[in-house]
Structure 1
Amino acid sequence: MENAGNGDLCLFIEPYGEDFCLKPGEVFTVAPEAEGNDVWFSTVVWEGGITVWPYEDGDPTKTVLEYTVTDANGTRLECGHQRPPKSGGSDVAELG
């Protein structure tokens, strides 16, 4: 995934809802932990974000639960990477 826009882009990976925020020009790779899996992605793009469901063998009922997210240098990223700070007492971070 590449953020070719001018603002931050939030990537959500389901089924856990983990989030990773991309700055303009950044590239992240989502890949299964296990080698050799035929992984497909169901993707929803919305203003300010992308939601991805990885699944195996073209079967959306076979959700991939173990995956990695890495940056362009191959560094493994953790959930919440570059998440915007919470604002004004709200319990929800502003993502857009």
Structure 2
Amino acid sequence: MPVENGGDIDLCLFVEPSCEDYWMKPGEAFTVHSAAEGIDVWFETRVSKGCVIVWLYEDGDPYKVVGEHRVVDENGTPLDSGHQRPVGQRWTAGGPIID
């Protein structure tokens, strides 16, 4: 699932249930892939101020969460959680606080 930051501020891509965050600069695009082979993965997205939250489900069943995933940049380079995270980023139980 590709996600592109078409805005003019940093955008957080937040992958659940692992609470992993990847920060995109304006104009950047990342892709979320399931690491599981041979299953039909559906993506659920929620958008809030400055953040796109992604869940991966097997066959679209919210009780079958796919936990193994990877996020890559436009060149296919795998990214680690916290990629480009702003210094001093604040959090709540539900994810990053975007001021």
Q: Say whether the fold is shared (TM-score over 0.5).
A: yes
TM-score by length of 1: 0.88
Which amino acid letter does the alignment assign opposite residue 79 of structure 1?
S
User: Does the CA-based 8 Å contact 1:4-1:24 persist in structure 2?
Assistant: yes
1:49 is aligned to 51
* CA distance in 2 between partners of 1:75 and 1:95 (Å): 26
56-65 or 33-42, larger mean C-alpha shift: 33-42
Structure 2 unaligned residues grouped into runs of 5+: 92-96
Moved over 6 A (4+): none
SS in structure 2 at match of 1:7:
coil
Residues 30-89 of structure 1, C-alpha deviations (whole Å, 9 max, x = no match):
0111233211111110111111111111111110110000000000000000000017xx
Give the fraction of aligned pairs with identical amino acids, expressed as a percent.
55
SS at match of 1:30: strand
Quote how far apart the aligned CAs of 1:95 are.
4.3
- What TM-score comes out, normalization by structure 2 length? 0.86
Larger Rg: 1
> Unmatched 5+ residue regions in structure 1?
none
Correspondence 1:24 to 2:37: no
Q: Determine which structure has the larger strand proportion and give its number.
A: 2
Alignment RMSD: 1.5
Instruction: Identify the residue that residue 7 of structure 1 maps to in structure 2.
Output: 9
2:4 aligned counterpart, secondary structure: coil
